[in-house]
Amino acid sequence: MEKLNATAASLLGFLLEAPLTGWDLVQKVDESVGYFWNVTRSQVYRELRALAEEGFTKEQAPGKRDRVLYEITPAGRVAFKEWLAEEPGSDLLRLPIVLRVFFGDHLEPSQLRHHVLKARVEHQTRLTQYEKIRAHKELAAEPFVQQTIDLGIAYERTFLAWLDQLPIKEGAARGSATRRPAAKKRAKR
């Protein structure tokens, strides 16, 4: 592993407190950073193998149901600290619903409305989950986690407000007000 990637580094971060199985790591990611740092189960297991090969983790003897526990090594702690010190780079947002809205003039209004309503349910669910997490008293001892949750809450509220203001009406034809303006023609000289 030439340079620790963000997914591998996040797994090392979760292993700082206690050894975990691949399954445990998937759950930890989903319950905490999963909305802004998505990883698949296959990525987790692939990264765990690579981390073990690099000596950043070591496998403990299989436990219940032959699940393997992974433990961070001293080299893994160093690699994690080095990764944290690196510049994070630019953000990259991939918002499928925003792409659908951008090309909304090419969708049937009912289909676009369906997409928007489905996205609204998903974002409301996320907001509710963030608010439940935020209500936990032990979070007060973790100010950086608390601030991350606050960002999630603010993001979800803003996204819901954006969805709610979209000009989507049941059965209504798309009007010219929702069309992107055509490029202006150059004036003749």
| φ/ψ (deg, to 5) at 70 | -110, 135
d(CA 97, CA 160): 12
Token couple for 161: 């407000």
| φ/ψ (deg, to 5) at 132 | -65, -45
DSSP string, the chain: --S--HHHHHHHHHHTTS-EEHHHHHHHHHHTTTTTS---HHHHHHHHHHHHHHTSEEEPPP-GGGPPEEEE-HHHHHHHHHHHHS---------HHHHHHHTGGGS-HHHHHHHHHHHHHHHHHHHHHHHHHHT-GGGGG-HHHHHHHHHHHHHHHHHHHHHHHS---TTPPPPGGGSPPPPPPPPP-
Q: pLDDT at residue 1 above 60?
A: no
The per-residue pLDDT for range 64-106, each reduced to its tens digit, is 677 889 999 999 999 999 999 999 888 887 889 999 999 998 9
d(CA 51, CA 55): 6
Token couple for 38: 């998505």
Lookup result for tokens 């580094």:
9
Categorize the per-residue pLDDT at 48 as very low, low, confident or very high, splitting at 50, 70 and 90: very high
Token couple for 33: 């950073």
Categorize the per-residue pLDDT at 52 as very low, low, confident or very high, splitting at 50, 70 and 90: very high
Res 126: pLDDT:
92
Could you tell me what percent of the chain has a pLDDT over 70? 86
Kindly report the number of other CB atoms within 10 A of residue 71's CB atom.
14
- The mean pLDDT of the chain is 85
Q: pLDDT at residue 172 above 50?
A: no
d(CA 124, CA 153): 10
Q: pLDDT at residue 120 above 90?
A: yes
